[in-house]
Each structure stands twice: as structure tokens, then as C-alpha cells.
Amino acid sequence: MLDRTVTQQAPVSVHRRRTSDVLVAVAFFGAIGSAMMAWIAAIAWLSWRFLDWMLP
């Protein structure tokens, strides 16, 4: 009886773990993507300001 309980609950725990792993990956890559977009925007803004300063 104990063996049946373990085998019946095992797929549920594996499914929950996979869902959690996917959510962590999405959150991680979302944070990395937003940080990369912020860096690109900052570089573009600084380049624009520098060109505006250099070229009257």
C-alpha cells in the first residue's frame, strides 16, 4: 500500500518541479532581457548626447 501511494504521487511532484523550473527560467531570461534593453537604451542615449555635443 505504501508503494502505491509513492508511485501515484511521484508524477505529480515531477510535474510541479518541471513547471517551477520553467517559471524560474522565464523569470531569469526576462530579467536578463530587460537589463540588456536598458543597457542598449543607455548606450544609444549617451551616443545621441555625445553627437549632439560634438556636432553643432
Kindly report, residue by residue over 2-51, the tens digit of the pLDDT: 555 555 555 555 555 666 788 899 999 999 999 999 999 999 999 999 99
Would you give the DSSP letter of residue 56? -
Give the DSSP H or E segment for 19. helix 2-54
pTM of the model: 0.57
8, 22, 26, 35, 44 from 29: Cα distances, Å: 33, 11, 5, 10, 22
Distance CA 29, CA 48 (A): 28
pLDDT at res. 3: 57
Distance CA 37, CA 31 (A): 10
pLDDT at res. 22: 86
